[in-house]
Amino acid sequence: MIPINIYTLTRLDDTYNQERLERQLSSRSRFLKVKDWEIKGLRTLSERLCDVMDNAISLKFFYSFTMPKLGKEFDLLRISDDAVVNIELKSGIVSDEVIKRQLTQNRYYLSTLDRTMYSYTYISEADRLVRLTGGGRIIDSTWEELADVLNKQQNCYEGHIEELFREDRYLISPLTDPLRFLRGDYFLTAQQRDIRNQILKDITEKPGVIRRKAAIHGFTGLPGTGKTILLYDIAMQLSESYRVCILHFGSHEKELEHLDERLKRIDFYYCDANAHIDLPGEYSAILVDEGHRLSAMNVHEIMEWSKRDNIPVVISYDREDTIAYEERNHDGSELIEKLPGFNGYKLTNRIRLNSELSAFIAKLMFMGSNHRKEFPSVSVAYSSNDSETETLVSDYISQGYIYIYDNSINHMAVTGEGFMEVSEATCREFDRVVMLIDGSFAYDENGYLRSVFADCPVVRDLFHGLSRAKNKIAVIVQNNKDVLNGILTILQGDYNKQKRG
């Protein structure tokens, strides 16, 4: 989406043609639903600027932009090398407090651009222009002041705004990007914020005061839905007034040590599902990450602490719903959901993984899933033996892919840059991921990808490994033409039907 000339757009007086013209001007991928009152306000704003600026008819703004994944909307944005001008449009009278809240939130979300911020709201019914000061107050402004700010903007960006708001700028993992987490340099989606607020409402009597009760809350979701950052954000909120701890059952022991060293108000513990948990201190809340790895012993110990100290527990965990039921790791997730009084939530928005890759992985796990048929960001290669696989892996690594391998099926040296064992890849994100599918895999009669060996988690490891990719996926199929045929059918459709047609 590129910026549009608002003077040009507002010369029309019917929404049908405005929507068509707006799409042409902005190069938007879809038609925007234009609101009649908003266009009228935009027209008045343009005319007011024309009264005080010689070049007002040439001004371009990004109009009605929504941040990818987060769903945060902005009415007007103008972005130069050193400044961002944000103007929100209102029709009826609204309070200064409502305006302040919106502009403050906008400024927060625009902070990733690292530019000086100018925040305005125009109320068309009152013909009133206001701005948010650096001190957080709403004051009346003038068109001359706004014109001066716009005139000072140099080298305004006219490319696609999505390039300035790539997800990796504001969607992070506290384990793999601890410094940005500690700075608070991240955002939550509306769904994450809603779940966080519901949990905090239940376990706190008022802001900063934890309610003393053994409440059990948990949230689940597929990889990429932001479970870890949500859990850690809840811990940060609680730790402002109380001592809390996080029990982590995944990998990243070194990252936890780093967080524990830098963030003194939260205690971090790296836990093994096969060992007893030792909590040396007393806490007002216990938070558990990677809860699906919990053993019955772990669950019992955590519940005993909760009951003994009358404190809440919050758990994040995976359900692995995309995988065939028999291939899932049921232990921890089922134990959690069977706890008396358990309050569960589900994250559904994939904030890290793009929709194309998410759809491909779902289709790979179950060919009967109803998903898109085009996957330009997915590649597949075939090898007949370990040597050919090693050659292909080396080539993919040279293209910037990370080879995520499963020790149970890997038959090559995995030293040097570009290699990552699947358990070490947990909670990490990579631009490109390549993985191996060998004779350990097969599709069953129902279309589910299955392991041919009992108690071998290769399907689950493949699912979690591929889910680490943000932009591209590659699959190397070694000496398994049945699975290759399945993958090619996913990517291209049924060859035999097409040939007959």
* Ranges of each domain in the chain: 4-165, 178-346, 355-500
Categorize the per-residue pLDDT at 320 as very low, low, confident or very high, splitting at 50, 70 and 90: confident
Residue 494 in this model has a pLDDT that exceeds 80: no
Categorize the per-residue pLDDT at 374 as very low, low, confident or very high, splitting at 50, 70 and 90: confident
Name residues whose C-beta falls within 8 Å of residue 429's C-beta, 6 or more positions apart in sequence.
168, 173, 176, 352, 468, 470
Q: Which CATH number fits domain 355-500: 1.10.10.60, 3.40.50.300, 2.70.98.10, 3.40.640.10?
A: 3.40.50.300
pLDDT at position 142 is: 97
Q: The sheet that has 430-437: what strands, in order across it?
A: 378-383, 469-478, 430-437, 402-405, 419-421
- Length of the chain equals 501
Q: Kindly report the pTM of this predicted structure.
A: 0.69
Categorize the per-residue pLDDT at 351 as very low, low, confident or very high, splitting at 50, 70 and 90: low
DSSP 447: S
Residue 269 in this model has a pLDDT that exceeds 80: yes
Give the closest residue to 11 by CA, choosing from 33, 36, 35, 43: 43
Cα distance between residue 377 and residue 342, in whole Å:
40
Cα dihedral 405, 409, 413, 417 in deg (nearest 10) = 0
Categorize the per-residue pLDDT at 477 as very low, low, confident or very high, splitting at 50, 70 and 90: very high
Categorize the per-residue pLDDT at 143 as very low, low, confident or very high, splitting at 50, 70 and 90: very high
pLDDT at position 498 is: 52
Percentage above 90 pLDDT, the chain: 53
Residue 250 in this model has a pLDDT that exceeds 80: no
What SS3 state is found at 346?
Answer: strand
pLDDT tens digits for range 444-460: 999 999 999 877 889 98
Categorize the per-residue pLDDT at 441 as very low, low, confident or very high, splitting at 50, 70 and 90: very high
pLDDT at position 204 is: 84
Greatest C-alpha distance within the chain:
77
Residue 238 in this model has a pLDDT that exceeds 70: yes
Residue 393 in this model has a pLDDT that exceeds 90: yes
Residue 499 in this model has a pLDDT that exceeds 70: no
The CATH H-level superfamily of 178-346 is P-loop containing nucleotide triphosphate hydrolases (3.40.50.300)
Categorize the per-residue pLDDT at 264 as very low, low, confident or very high, splitting at 50, 70 and 90: confident
Average pLDDT rounded to a whole number, residues 137-143:
96
> Which residue type occupies 249?
F
pLDDT at position 312 is: 93
User: Is the separation of the CB atoms in 123 and 90 below 8 Å?
Assistant: yes
Cα distance between residue 307 and residue 302, in whole Å:
9
Residue 213 in this model has a pLDDT that exceeds 70: yes
pLDDT tens digits for range 22-40: 999 999 988 988 888 888 8
User: 373 or 54, which is more confident?
Assistant: 54
pLDDT tens digits for range 456-471: 889 989 998 998 898 8
Categorize the per-residue pLDDT at 137 as very low, low, confident or very high, splitting at 50, 70 and 90: very high
Cα distance between residue 151 and residue 343, in whole Å:
54
The DSSP bridge pattern shows strands 209-210 and 204-206 to be antiparallel
What SS3 state is found at 287?
Answer: strand
Average pLDDT rounded to a whole number, residues 414-440:
89
pLDDT at position 330 is: 61
Average pLDDT rounded to a whole number, residues 347-359:
74
pLDDT at position 324 is: 77
Helix axes 36-52, 143-152, angle to 10 degrees: 80
Return phi, psi of residue 114, to 5°. 55, 50
Categorize the per-residue pLDDT at 371 as very low, low, confident or very high, splitting at 50, 70 and 90: low
**Tokens, residue 249:** 């059952």
* For the ranges 194-198, 248-252, 266-270, the one whose mean pLDDT is highest: 194-198
**Comparing 178-346 with 355-500, is the CATH topology the same?**
yes
Residue 373 in this model has a pLDDT that exceeds 70: no
Average pLDDT, the chain: 88
Average pLDDT rounded to a whole number, residues 376-404:
95
Cα distance between residue 383 and residue 392, in whole Å:
8
Cα distance between residue 75 and residue 85, in whole Å:
11
User: Is the separation of the CB atoms in 381 and 394 below 8 Å?
Assistant: no
User: Quick one: 128 exposed, middle or buried, by C-beta within 10 A (0-12, 13-18, 19+)?
Assistant: middle
What SS3 state is found at 215?
Answer: coil
User: 138 or 333, which is more confident?
Assistant: 138
